[in-house]
């Protein structure tokens, strides 16, 4: 289907094209600047009246060449790049990258660092799902949901700021542990967020979950069967909405996820509505995980005890020549993992975010490939949108909840 | 970590299944730490992947990603990399396919797996775009991330990343591969 489309005949708004088998179709350009594309995605729709005959996504507008850039940066210098891929869950990307490099090194971070990593990435998951909740509702005309979601997300960004000084691109999770330990007010602040947010999810759900307009616009729309979702490499909430309970946190537990009790919400219909339900339910599960991790948070180190990998504490620099040398070597050269290759994935809000790193024993990755969950979601758009109404394309796009920074890298 | 044992078992099982159904497909097992891979012969790639997908003992129904590695000095020059996921066995498997460079400046060719997993279609477009591997039988092989009129394939190791050739009156030319492209010191 997609092959016959080729490059669109025109890049302006719309044009008439001849299609001998189907009668005249209108070619309609949607994006790259379009509020519902959540970034810069361009869709070329071929429509017959209000019906979409075919939809062809064009990506690459946010391509920044991160994978190429990784090859000339030391391992520590790579961390800030990971923030900017899936920019709605920077901490999840940090974690995937850090874990992959740590696997290359054969290092495991201390328990306290693991717990804080879990808390911060689960907060990021809630923040990301709130954006999904707000924007997809906004696109279908429910404005108040958007404002409530933003209010809640603000508090999560404040936690980011409290622990790292930065609201979004924190680079807080680093190879070998964390940027720094969390301050004393971290525990009460996060507990207050969990406490306040729990009843509010019910409140937010009351805006949409049984709202007849929302149901009409989302139920039975954009259905993707389980078999299709698997064959397209879908992961995360979109796959689970189709009825597959694949979640990296339970299938390949990392950072101690196997110690926490939580459920993996699964949908049945694989439509837009189920993707919404799965995400709302996931926010509740994230709160459960955060509470358990907070309860088990005990004092201890937050970085590994390997001075070849992690910078020495500031206090040692004044008294130890060795610490100064380590500091100098790590900043100027970085560290050299043994040769080999790893693939390690974490469960990001959008699905399985994996890092495939090939090391040639130098201080920079020989090749680093990011398995971005959004990429596979967008690849299925031609299949998903065939035959839907133009107005429904917006609902389908919103339900996939991709991030173009993640798609294009 | 506990994971490598599981991965070794997954490699062995996949090799067993392939030796049975598509003899000659597996040329070797790369069991170098920390993670291994199955080396697959290019001629048998499509059949091998069908077998891995359909056989209940493996069940690699989900394509995670595919890409390639450019070894530049090595012969064969490229490695195609396929990462697969089995939901029934709960294992992840990596296939690697050594691929020789094309002769006299042509791009190397490899069979497309888009008929086995539709999810590989875009990944193969990305590999074509960034590493210049042509996938035979691909329904829509175009550039995907770079602009359509881009020249060269950026993730190749001999790609010049920075600068433009500039003509000076006192020198023959300015080599564009400046110190910048080397990044941090080795």
Q: Would you state the structure tokens that stand for residue A181, as one six-digit string?
A: 């330990």
Question: How many residue pairs from chains A and B have C-beta atoms closer than 8 A?
Answer: 130
> Cα–Cα distance between A99 and A287 in angstroms, integer?
23
End-to-end Cα separation, chain A, in angstroms: 27
* B185–chain A Cβ distance below 8 A for any pair: yes
Residues A368, A408: Cα–Cα separation, whole Å: 15
Name the DSSP letter for residue A244: -
Q: Which residue has the tokens 């940090």?
A: A94
Residues 366-405 (A) with a CB less than 8 A from some CB of B? 366-367, 369, 371, 375-376, 378-380, 383
Q: What residue spans in chain A does CATH classification 1.10.645.10 cover?
A: 109-304
Q: What is the per-residue pLDDT for B3?
A: 45
Tell me how crowded residue A137 is: count the other CB atoms within 10 A of its CB. Answer: 24
pLDDT of residue B6: 59
Q: How many CA atoms lie within 13 A of B184 on its CB side?
A: 21
What whole-number distance in Å separates Cα of residue B10 and Cα of residue B3? Answer: 11
**pLDDT tens track for B97-130:** 999 888 888 899 999 999 999 999 999 999 999 9
Q: Do A251 and B186 touch (CB under 8 A)?
A: no
Chain B residue at shortest CA distance from A368: B69
Express each pLDDT in A311-367 by its tens digit: 988 888 899 999 999 999 999 988 999 998 999 999 999 999 999 999 998 999 999
pTM: 0.88
Q: Is A356 at the interface with chain B, CB within 8 A?
A: yes
Judge whether B155 and A68 are in contact, CB under 8 Å.
Answer: yes
- Domain membership of residue B144 (yes or no) is yes
Query: What distance in Å separates the CA atoms of residue A370 and residue A46, rounded to the nearest whole number?
Result: 32
Query: Which range of residues forms the domain containing residue B12?
Result: 3-150
Rg of chain B, C-alpha, whole Å: 19
| pLDDT confidence of residue A232 | 93
Is B181 part of any domain? no
The verdict on ipTM greater than 0.90 is no
- Which chain A residue's Cα is nearest to B113? A231
**Residue A215 confidence (pLDDT) above 50:** yes
pLDDT for residue A208: 84
CATH number at residue B16: 3.30.460.80
Q: Which residues of A touch B85 (CB under 8 A)?
A: 246
Q: Which two tokens stand for residue A293?
A: 């991790």
pLDDT at A3: 38
A386: closest CA among A17, A25, A10?
A: A25
Across the interface, do B184 and A363 touch by the CB < 8 Å criterion? yes
Percent pLDDT > 90 in chain A is 49
Token pair in block for residue A397: 């796009």
Residues in chain A within 8 Å Cβ distance of B140: 2-3, 5
In-domain check, residue B177: no
Compute φ and ψ for A303, nearest 5 degrees.
-130, 160
**Test mutation, B90, B144, B179, B182, chain A, max A CBs within 10 A:** B144
Please report, for residues B152, B154, B184, the alpha-carbon distance to residue B174 in angstroms, rounded to integers and kept in the order given: 20, 21, 22
Tens-level pLDDT at each residue, chain B (186 residues): 344 445 778 888 888 888 888 888 888 888 777 788 889 988 999 999 999 999 888 889 999 999 999 998 888 999 999 999 998 888 888 999 999 888 888 899 999 999 999 999 999 999 999 999 999 999 989 999 998 888 889 898 888 776 666 666 666 555 555 444 445 444
- If residue A48 lies in a helix (H) or strand (E), which one and from where to where? strand A42-48
B85 bridge partner residues = B62, B92
pLDDT per position as a tens digit, A156-212: 999 999 999 999 898 999 999 899 899 999 999 999 999 999 999 988 888 888 888
Which class is A109-304 in CATH?
Answer: mainly alpha
Distance CA B106, CA A15 (A): 37
- Nearest CB among B119, B130, B181 relative to A379 is that of B119
Q: Does A328 touch chain B (CB under 8 A)?
A: no
The rounded Cα A190 to chain-centroid distance in angstroms is 21
Number of domains in chain B: 1
Establish if B165 belongs to a structural domain: no
């Amino acid at each position: 289907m997609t092959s016959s489309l080729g490059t669109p005949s025109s890049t302006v708004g719309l044009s008439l094209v001849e299609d001998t088998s189907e009668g005249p179709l209108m070619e309609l350009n949607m994006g790259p600047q379009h509020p519902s594309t959540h970034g810069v995605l361009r869709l070329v729709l071929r429509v017959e009246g209000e019906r979409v005959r075919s939809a062809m996504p064009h990506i690459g507008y946010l391509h920044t060449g991160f994978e190429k850039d990784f090859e000339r940066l030391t391992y520590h210098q790579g961390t800030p790049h990971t923030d900017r891929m899936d920019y709605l869950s920077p901490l999840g990307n940090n974690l995937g990258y850090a874990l992959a490099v740590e696997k290359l090194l054969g290092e495991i971070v201390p328990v306290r660092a693991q717990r804080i990593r879990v808390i911060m990435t689960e907060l990021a998951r809630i923040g990301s799902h709130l954006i999904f909740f707000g924007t997809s509702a906004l696109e279908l005309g429910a404005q108040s949901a958007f404002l409530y979601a933003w209010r809640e997300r603000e508090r999560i960004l404040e936690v980011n700021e409290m622990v790292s000084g930065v609201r979004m691109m924190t680079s807080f999770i680093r190879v070998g542990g964390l940027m720094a330990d969390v301050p004393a007010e971290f525990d009460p602040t996060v507990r207050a967020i969990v406490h306040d947010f729990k009843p509010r999810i019910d409140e937010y759900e009351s805006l949409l979950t049984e709202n007849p307009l929302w149901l009409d616009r989302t139920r039975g729309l954009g259905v993707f069967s389980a078999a299709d979702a698997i064959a397209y490499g879908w992961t995360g909430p979109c796959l689970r909405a189709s009825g597959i309970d694949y979640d990296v946190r339970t299938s390949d537990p990392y950072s101690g996820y196997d110690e926490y009790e939580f459920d993996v919400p699964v949908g049945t219909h694989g439509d837009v509505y189920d993707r919404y339900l799965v995400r709302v339910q996931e926010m509740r599960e994230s709160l459960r995980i955060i509470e358990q991790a907070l309860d088990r948070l005990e004092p201890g180190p937050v970085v590994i005890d390997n001075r070849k990998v992690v910078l020495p504490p500031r206090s040692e620099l004044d008294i130890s020549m060795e610490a100064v040398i380590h500091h100098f070597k790590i900043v100027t050269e970085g560290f050299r993992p043994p040769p080999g290759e790893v693939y390690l994935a974490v469960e990001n809000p959008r699905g399985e975010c994996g890092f495939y790193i090939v090391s040639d024993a130098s201080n920079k990755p020989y090749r680093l490939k990011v398995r971005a969950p959004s990429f596979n979601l967008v690849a299925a758009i031609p299949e998903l949108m065939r035959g839907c109404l133009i107005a429904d394309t917006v609902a389908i796009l919103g339900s996939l909840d991709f991030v173009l920074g993640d798609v294009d890298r | 970590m506990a994971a490598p044992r599981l991965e070794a078992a997954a490699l062995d099982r996949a090799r067993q299944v392939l030796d049975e159904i598509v003899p000659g497909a597996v040329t070797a097992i790369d069991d170098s730490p920390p993670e291994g891979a199955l080396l697959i012969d290019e001629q048998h790639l499509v059949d091998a992947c069908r077998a891995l997908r359909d056989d209940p003992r493996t069940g690699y129904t989900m394509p995670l990603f595919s890409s390639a590695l450019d070894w530049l000095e090595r012969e064969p020059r490229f490695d195609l990399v396929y990462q697969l996921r089995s939901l029934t066995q709960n294992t992840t498997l990596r296939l690697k396919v050594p691929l020789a460079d094309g002769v006299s400046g042509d791009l190397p060719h490899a069979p497309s797996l888009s008929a086995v997993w539709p999810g590989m279609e875009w990944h193969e477009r990305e590999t074509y775009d960034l590493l210049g591997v042509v996938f035979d039988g691909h329904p829509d092989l175009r550039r995907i991330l770079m602009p359509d009129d881009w020249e060269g394939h950026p993730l190749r190791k001999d790609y010049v990343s920075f600068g433009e050739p500039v003509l000076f009156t006192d020198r023959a030319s300015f080599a564009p591969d400046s110190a910048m492209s080397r990044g941090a010191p080795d």
